[in-house]
Structure 1
Amino acid sequence: MSSSAPRTAAVLLGAAVVTASAVLPAAAAGHAPHHRAPHSPVVVGAVQYDSPGRDDRSNRSLNGEWVTVSNTGRKPVDLKGWTLAKDGRHVYHFKNVRLAGRSSVRVHTGVGRDTRRDVYQDSRQYIWDNNDTATLRDSRHRVVDVKHWSGRRDR
């Protein structure tokens, strides 16, 4: 019995070394997983990245570009402190938005007056491209949902 104890310890130590050697390079290379929130009924929904009509940077054209955030659950969700981001430079911060169950809010690019169904980033330039990613984070900065799209302009 005493001869099997060192052998078992050696096997366990070897397994730990193999596991650590597989995990550490991924973390060091920046491939560590994002901190994800527990499953949330709130998701990134429909996206309109190519505003209809003329792309003339008018407020009307800018507001033709939007991303929908939808609550697929039955209970309301308070989005205060949540963010919708393209990257570190283009981040929309939700303020006093309470998203009712089974409802959506459109986050428009341009300037406007916030309502229950529409909020505005107050940007004077287009944000979303035809090959882009929207990341939704909760008030604890945990990733709730990510949506990537790829398309082309037909003009």
Structure 2
Amino acid sequence: MLIRTAAPLALAATTALAGSLLVAAPASAAAHQGGVHLGKIQYDSPGKDTRSNSSLNAEWVEIHNNTKSKVQLKGYKLKDNTGYTFTFGSYNVSAGKTVKVHTGRGKVSSGHVYWNRGSYVWNNTGDKARLIKPNGKLLDSCSWTKSGKGTKNCH
């Protein structure tokens, strides 16, 4: 009889211990301890918004690889609140490195990719950048509510 009651007690104690271990790390720390995440965002292109290619390319989002190995970003998506979506083609970001996704047109190079848009994506008065894995899972997000200096340091 003691064995029957000890097993449920042991299971309850193990479950309680596991539950307390799961809550030990804050959610924000757990989300950014490693992996790929949003870095700094230049959501308001400096100067007057002229829609010139150089002005469009001065609006960008950094994506940082915080892992110890390169990450293939093919199929990853960057989205704003209105649904504008940039989907990465084949692009490797090295360990500890950052890639800037520029709004305008340009030639892909080390650390720089281009959305190839003719108009701005990020709203100066408030928006939310979302980084989404190829499987559709939200990997990271970063939002702002008003125009300040035109930049947001997400992490």
With structure 1 as the length reference, what TM-score do the two structures score?
Answer: 0.70
Aligned residues: 117
Aligned residue type for 2:68: R
Instruction: Please state how far the C-alpha of 1:88 moved relative to its aligned partner.
Output: 5.7
- The question of 1:105 aligning with 2:99 is answered yes
Secondary structure, counterpart of 1:147 in structure 2: strand
Aligned-partner Cα distance in 2 for 1:71–1:144: 12
Instruction: Please state how far the C-alpha of 1:101 moved relative to its aligned partner.
Output: 0.5
Secondary structure, counterpart of 1:105 in structure 2: strand
What's the counterpart of residue 120 of structure 2? 126
Instruction: Please state how far the C-alpha of 1:74 moved relative to its aligned partner.
Output: 1.2
What's the counterpart of residue 11 of structure 2? none
**Which residue, out of 137, 145, 148, partners 1:150?**
145
**TM-superposition CA deviations, 1:26-52 (whole Å, max 9, x none):** xxxxxxxxxxx9x85100110001111
What's the counterpart of residue 76 of structure 1? 70
What's the counterpart of residue 45 of structure 1? 39
What's the counterpart of residue 32 of structure 1? none
Instruction: Please state how far the C-alpha of 1:153 moved relative to its aligned partner.
Output: 5.3
Runs of 4+ in 1 over 6 A off after TM superposition: none
Aligned-partner Cα distance in 1 for 2:92–2:75: 11
Aligned residue type for 2:139: V
Structure 2: runs of 5 or more not aligned: 1-30, 150-155
Identity of aligned residues (%): 36
User: Based on CA coordinates, which of the two structures has the bigger radius of gyration?
Assistant: 1
Instruction: Please state how far the C-alpha of 1:129 moved relative to its aligned partner.
Output: 1.2
With structure 2 as the length reference, what TM-score do the two structures score?
Answer: 0.70
CA contact (8 A) 2:70 2:94 kept: yes
Structure 1: runs of 5 or more not aligned: 1-36
Instruction: Please state how far the C-alpha of 1:106 moved relative to its aligned partner.
Output: 0.3
Instruction: Please state how far the C-alpha of 1:120 moved relative to its aligned partner.
Output: 0.5
What's the counterpart of residue 141 of structure 1? 136
Instruction: Please state how far the C-alpha of 1:89 moved relative to its aligned partner.
Output: 3.2
CA RMSD, Structure 1 to Structure 2 (Å) = 1.8
Secondary structure, counterpart of 2:40 in structure 1: strand
Aligned-partner Cα distance in 2 for 1:88–1:133: 9
